[in-house]
Structure 1
Amino acid sequence: MDGSIKKRDLLANVEIRHLVALETVVETGSFVQAGVALGYSQSAISQQIAALEHAAGLRLLVRPGGRKPVTATDAGERLLRHARRASAAMRAAEADLHALAAGDAGTVRVGTFQSVGVRLLPGAMRRYVERWPDVEVRLLEAGYDEELLTLLERGDIDIAFVRENRDPTFEQVAVLSDPYVLLAPADSELARDGGAVRPREIARLPLIGYRRSTEGAEAILRSQGLDPEVVFRSDEGGTVQGLVGAGIGYAVVPLLAVETSSEVVILTVADMPPRRIAIAWHVDRPPTSAARAFVQIVTELGAEIESGYAHGVSVDSSRRRRQT
Structure 2
Amino acid sequence: MLDTRRMQVLRAVVTSGSVTAAARNLGYTPSAVSQQMAALEKEAGIALLERTGRGVRPTDAGRLLTEYAVAIGKQIAEAETALAELRAGRTGRVSMRYFTTAGSTLVAPALAALRRAQPGVQVELKLSDPDDPMPQVRDRLADLALVVRPHGQPGADGQSGVDGQPGADGVRFEHLLDDRYHAVLPAGHPLAAKRLLDMTDLAEEPWVASETPGPCLDPILDACGAAGFSPDFVVESGDYATAQGFVAAGLGVSLVPRLGLDAPHPGVVVREVHNPVPVRSIHAAVRGPAPDRPAVRGLLDALRDAVAQIGEASAAADSPSGPA
Match of 1:175 in 2: 176
1:107-166 deviation digits (Å, cap 9, x = unpaired)? 21111111111311121121122222222212222236x812122112121011123412
Establish whether residue 244 from structure 1 lines up as the match of residue 281 from structure 2. no
Letter in 1 for 2:202: I
Give matches, 1:1-324, under 5 Å: 104=89, 105-143=91-129, 147-164=132-149, 165-166=154-155, 167-168=160-161, 169=167, 170-191=171-192, 193-209=193-209, 210-212=211-213, 215-224=217-226, 225-258=228-261, 259-270=263-274, 271-283=276-288, 286-311=291-316, 313=318
Match of 1:25 in 2: none
Match of 1:70 in 2: none
Structure whose alpha-carbon radius of gyration is higher: 2
Work out the CA distance in 2 between the residues paired with 1:140 and 1:230.
31
Letter in 2 for 1:110: M
Work out the CA distance in 2 between the residues paired with 1:159 and 1:195.
38
Q: Tell me the secondary structure at the aligned position of residue 208 of structure 2.
A: strand
Q: Tell me the secondary structure at the aligned position of residue 116 of structure 1.
A: helix
* Stretches (4+) displaced over 6 A: none
Q: CA deviation at 1:323?
A: 7.1
Q: CA deviation at 1:203?
A: 2.7
Contact 1:112 1:160 in 2 (8 A): yes
Q: CA deviation at 1:266?
A: 0.9
Contact 2:146 2:285 in 1 (8 A): yes
Question: How many residues are treated as equivalent by the alignment?
Answer: 219
Q: CA deviation at 1:313?
A: 4.7
TM-score normalised to the size of structure 1? 0.60
**Residues 196 and 312 of structure 1: is their aligned pair in 2 closer, same or farther, counting only changes over 3 Å?**
farther
Work out the CA distance in 1 between the residues paired with 2:104 and 2:222.
23
Contact 1:281 1:287 in 2 (8 A): no
Identity of aligned pairs, percent? 23
Work out the CA distance in 1 between the residues paired with 2:300 and 2:311.
16
For structure 2, list consecutive stretches of 5 or more residues without a partner in the other structure: 1-84, 162-166
Letter in 2 for 1:113: F
Contact 2:137 2:144 in 1 (8 A): yes
**Residues 276 and 197 of structure 1: is their aligned pair in 2 closer, same or farther, counting only changes over 3 Å?**
same
Q: Tell me the secondary structure at the aligned position of residue 130 of structure 1.
A: helix
CA RMSD, 1 decimal: 3.0
Work out the CA distance in 1 between the residues paired with 2:319 and 2:267.
16
Letter in 1 for 2:134: L
Contact 2:219 2:280 in 1 (8 A): no
Q: CA deviation at 1:222?
A: 4.9
Q: Tell me the secondary structure at the aligned position of residue 106 of structure 1.
A: strand
Q: 217-226 vs 299-308, which deviates more?
A: 217-226
**Residues 312 and 197 of structure 1: is their aligned pair in 2 closer, same or farther, counting only changes over 3 Å?**
farther
Work out the CA distance in 2 between the residues paired with 1:112 and 1:310.
25
For structure 1, list consecutive stretches of 5 or more residues without a partner in the other structure: 1-100, 317-321
Letter in 2 for 1:174: H
Q: CA deviation at 1:234?
A: 2.6
Q: 288-297 vs 275-284, which deviates more?
A: 275-284
Q: CA deviation at 1:315?
A: 9.6
**Residues 147 and 287 of structure 1: is their aligned pair in 2 closer, same or farther, counting only changes over 3 Å?**
farther
Contact 1:127 1:297 in 2 (8 A): yes
Work out the CA distance in 2 between the residues paired with 1:120 and 1:111.
13
**Residues 307 and 274 of structure 1: is their aligned pair in 2 closer, same or farther, counting only changes over 3 Å?**
farther
Contact 2:223 2:278 in 1 (8 A): no
Q: CA deviation at 1:211?
A: 2.1
Work out the CA distance in 2 between the residues paired with 1:118 and 1:109.
18
Work out the CA distance in 2 between the residues paired with 1:323 and 1:216.
31
1:214-268 deviation digits (Å, cap 9, x = unpaired)? 6244322354242111012232222112222222221101111102332221100
Letter in 1 for 2:301: Q
**Residues 244 and 219 of structure 1: is their aligned pair in 2 closer, same or farther, counting only changes over 3 Å?**
same
Work out the CA distance in 2 between the residues paired with 1:141 and 1:213.
17
Q: Tell me the secondary structure at the aligned position of residue 260 of structure 1.
A: coil
